[in-house]
Structure 1
Amino acid sequence: MTRLNTELNIADPDAFYEKLIDTHNGLSEEESHFLNAKLVLLLANHIGDAEVLSEALTLARAGVSSEDAAD
């Protein structure tokens, strides 16, 4: 079983974050959400492993809403 890598794995995380933010520059909120959705689907397709993707979804969802805090 492949596990989701949650360790720092980006050579230059600050540069990546800057590029990510720059990619959103000039977009409306709706366009920005659409870009994020496209990025998630592109990266999910690249990963391809259903178990890893399921683990990522679970970790990403944890603590996102006030309902999660009650669980």
Structure 2
Amino acid sequence: MIDACFIAKRITEVMPELPNVLKPRNIHVIDCIAELKKEKEIINKYNEKEDKRIVSLSLTSYHVEIL
């Protein structure tokens, strides 16, 4: 168990730094969106036609059942 914790610490130490505009919270939000998209199909993803770097998200009708 202690070895696993040591290895996990080493992995985080060798990872590259996040850009200044990106916070760890942003990574958490991106992970949650990806999980919702994969598991429940709660989120629709739309690519912008003019700028392919921009992605818009919207909720599907499934979220009404949850609320």
TM bucket, shorter chain? under 0.3
* Structure-1-length-normalised TM-score: 0.26
* Structure-2-length-normalised TM-score: 0.26
Q: Specify which structure has the higher proportion of strand.
A: 2
Task: Answer 1 or 2: higher relative contact order, Cα 8 Å, separation at least 6.
Answer: 1
